[in-house]
Chains A and B, each alone.
Chain A
Amino acid sequence: MLSRTADHLYWMSRYIERAESLARLVDAHYRMSLLPHSGDTLAQSLSATMTALHMEEAYLERHETIEPRAVFEFVSLDREYSGSIFSCLRAARENARAVRGSLTSELWETLNSTWLDARTLVARSSPNADIGQFVEWVKERSHLTRGVTIGTMLRDEAFHFTRIGTFLERADSTARILTAHQIDLKPGADAGAVPDPFEWSVLLRALSAFEVYRRVYRDVITPLKVAQLLILRDDMPRSLLRCCKEVYQNLKSVANEHSAETERRAGEMHAMLHFTRMENILATGLPEFLEQFLASLRDLGDRIASDFLLPPAEA
């Protein structure tokens, strides 16, 4: 397959995944904003999240203070800001359009109508736009896109590059959301219940993990279990381990004569998460661990680009 085609497919799926991650974050915070007395916690959580996603600077160019309603609109609907959900949907569609011949017509039509509808929704959005409804719609479109991808695409390179994009983006998103929440766990720390269940339910909802947590642990929310679920559980779809496993497996399916080292590093990340234990992570310190993880993920992304997507001329 053409390198340029693989590049567009990879970015198409990254942008759709990013739109969904952002929609989840907005949704979780939006729900929190509807609860009484949530003010301080909400502002703190929004600020930390925007910092972890590198959105704060662009936001503060447009607004003076972190005000929930303004943040929701900025992240969801802003047409100028390239990191908004709206811009992600546009970028996903532009990438899809560049390679529409490599997509099934169902997949192309799904992405195209998502974009056409988003444009109508945003054009019509009033000062009282229903953010909750918008992000709910974005999640549905992302679910639909994923379903159409899995249900209609041939399991060839195009599919694998699409999946690599999805899981790299998802791993990045989970790691950043964890970073924002500054879970400060010392080795051997008392694994008691969290002091502020509001903040933690936001974290879990943003990763579609609230119900999963209850089901897996049948317990009150404790920081250690939250970290365990989102980092080391193989059966948790948005955990770091799960995402790295998917990246590694899809990468193996597209291997070429230059990609051995990239494959080795992806395998190493997967193996590390597969065989480590929470105690080891806590010994490093969770923030340091996440920082290293994000750096490795960036390295992997760069290596995939130079091995497959943008090979040097005459390579």
Chain B
Amino acid sequence: MGNKPYNEMYLGDATTRPHYRSYDQWLNDQPADRLSQKRAEADALFHRVGITFAVYGQEEGAERLIPFDIVPRVLPLEEWIRLEGGLKQRVRALNAFIHDIYHDQQILKAGVIPAEQVLCNSQYRPEMQGVDVPGGIYAHIAGIDIVRDDAGEFRVLEDNLRVPSGVSYMLENRKMMMRLFPELFSAHRVAPVDHYPDVLLDNLRSVAPTGVADPTVVLMTAGAHNSAYFEHAFLAQQMGIELVEGQDLFVRDEAVFMRTTQGPQRVDVIYRRIDDDFLDPLVFRPDSMLGVPGLLTAYRAGRITIANAIGTGVADDKSIYPYVPEMIRFYLGQAPMIGNVHTWMLRKKEDLDYVLAHLPELVVKEVHGAGGYGMLIGPASTKAEIEAFRQQIIATPERYIAQPTLALSTCPTFAGLGLAPRHIDLRPFVLSGRDVTIVPGGLTRVALREGSLVVNSSQGGGTKDTWVLEA
């Protein structure tokens, strides 16, 4: 750890950063009880609206709120513009990479990435080899996790290219802030985010199979017990499209239809929020009750667009992540505008030796883990925990990567009776179709426990409204 984390609001002890000055002034003018009353109001509203998520491993049907913090995370426009450029660049390169992997594999032939790293990856889908998708776009919706290090530099922590979630919280948090504190929005020029569903729908329509003039788009969910069900229902409603489950769809003559009260209706684009494994029981998991038999046949015949495409997981795996800067150079001929976090790959002998010698100061992650499960945070772990993890690493080193324990930047957050700094990250949502677009900001996640670096909602993280200030 060592260095002091970057504080998003304050410079040193007494100075407020320029883009937070007017907010800080407002904050100081608020009577203490007004803010706690507003926080209670926010909780009651979230409950009534049913903005909840289900927690895996808990009692069936358990629904919980994601804690919402009323102090916004503010980004000045010039920082956002830099970030936006870097994100677009990165996602373009990732899409080019996936296309290449499922076609000529030039990047492997050039020796930039070891072939076995890609072809032996469990997320590589041989079924996709040689399949052309509209516009060559695979990751139509990407959630790129960004952190800010102690030097104030943005870095990419993780790419989420399968079924990234959280955008509904970005939208609901803004709605909530505007409801609770309208005066803040007349005093600040906050870039709007509420057009996201329109941009998303437009993006999905732009990648419909060729020749479809007025494409029918649907959102596919695993159902009301899925942890992100609220978001699925919310987005379908906001876009005005049907929210379907596998049982609502069927394939006939290589085309996909949904069962409606007026008979079968053709579907052209599926925005799916279930994993590859469950999409088509004839090809992937035969026990999947969530999928549509024959979907892959229709897909390979080019009669339906699936967003995100099948097989994008090969590019967001933690074992591929260290190569993304190389992809940007290889496909775009550009220098990466946002860097990675330094990563040791434990399948390499010298990296493994270094990491085993420095476990107490590092973060070790499972290559296929997600949601903050299966990781070791050295500085926050006991000796016994570290030793237990060491044995796991030695048994299967190729399953792990390690990174320095980042001093994630902090933002003032309500904790107990008053404000205290808590670590945050940022997940902007990058949409690729005809163009690459990003709604300003994204979802800021905050680790609510003091000192904690884990921002995942499944591990006690909360969220904040994210402001890009236009002036």
Contacts and interface: CB of A to CB of B under 8 A. Distances in A.
Please determine whether chains A and B interact with each other in the same assembly: yes
B236 interface: yes
Contacts of B186: none
B28 interface: no
22 contacts: A2-B242, A2-B244, A2-B258, A3-B248, A3-B259, A3-B261, A4-B247, A4-B259, A5-B243, A97-B50, A101-B233, A101-B243, A108-B49, A109-B49, A112-B48, A112-B50, A161-B261, A313-B250, A314-B250, A314-B264, A315-B263, A315-B264
A113 B259 contact: no
Nearest to A101: B237
A6 B261 contact: yes
B25 interface: no
B236 A101 contact: yes
**Centre residue among A3, A308, A315 by max chain B CB count within 10 A:** A3
A116 interface: yes
Which secondary structure characterizes the binding site on chain A? helix
A64 B355 CA distance: 70
B263 A256 contact: yes
A257 B250 CA distance: 20
Contacts of B264: 314-315
A4 B247 CA distance: 9
Contacts of B244: 2
Contacts of B262: 1, 256
A105 interface: yes
B252 interface: yes
Interface string A111-129: 0110010000000000000
Given A4-B245, A313-B250, A314-B252, A100 B259 contact: no
Contacts of A101: 233-234, 236-237, 243
A100 B233 contact: yes
Contacts of A113: 48
Interface in B301-355: none
B49 A1 contact: no
Bin chain A's interface residue count: 20 to 34
Interface in A241-283: 254, 256-257
Nearest to B251: A314
Bin chain B's interface residue count: 20 to 34
A173 B121 CA distance: 60
B260 interface: yes
Contacts of A97: 50, 224
Interface of B: 47-50, 223-224, 233-234, 236-237, 242-245, 247-248, 250, 252, 258-264
A2 B250 CA distance: 13
Contact of A308 (B47, B224, B261): B261
Contacts of A112: 48-50
B236 to A, nearest CB: 5
A113 B236 CA distance: 22
Given A101-B243, A311-B259, 11 more contacts: A1-B261, A1-B262, A4-B248, A94-B224, A101-B233, A101-B236, A102-B243, A109-B50, A112-B48, A116-B47, A256-B262
B247 A105 contact: no
A112 B247 CA distance: 26
Interface in A54-106: 94, 97-102, 105
Nearest to B247: A4
Given A97-B224, A313-B250, A314-B250, A105 B49 contact: yes
B227 to A, nearest CB: 14
A-B interface, 9 closest residue pairs, ranked by CB to CB distance from nearest: A101-B237, A101-B233, A101-B236, A308-B261, A98-B224, A100-B233, A3-B259, A112-B50, A101-B243
A314 B47 CA distance: 39
Contacts of B237: 100-102
B125 to A, nearest CB: 28
Contacts of A94: 224
A315 B249 CA distance: 12
A136 interface: no
Interface string A135-163: 00000000000000000000001000100
A1 B260 contact: yes
B50 A157 contact: no
A256 B261 contact: yes
A315 B224 contact: no
B226 to A, nearest CB: 11
Contact of A2 (B48, B248, B252): B248
A157 B250 CA distance: 22
A101 B230 CA distance: 9
A141 B262 CA distance: 33
Nearest to B218: A2
A138 B243 CA distance: 30
B49 A257 contact: no
A101 B236 CA distance: 6
Nearest to A308: B261
B47 A3 contact: no
Nearest to A94: B224
Contacts of A315: 259, 263-264
Contact of B261 (A99, A105, A116, A157): A157
Contacts of B250: 313-314
**Centre residue among B50, B242, B258, B261 by max chain A CB count within 10 A:** B261
Contacts of B234: 101
Nearest to A109: B48
A112 B233 CA distance: 15
**Centre residue among B224, B245, B252 by max chain A CB count within 10 A:** B224
A257 B262 CA distance: 8
Nearest to B250: A314
A171 B400 CA distance: 64
Nearest to A3: B259
A296 B150 CA distance: 74
B248 A116 contact: no
A116 B48 contact: yes
Nearest to A157: B261
B225 to A, nearest CB: 10
Contacts of A99: 233, 243
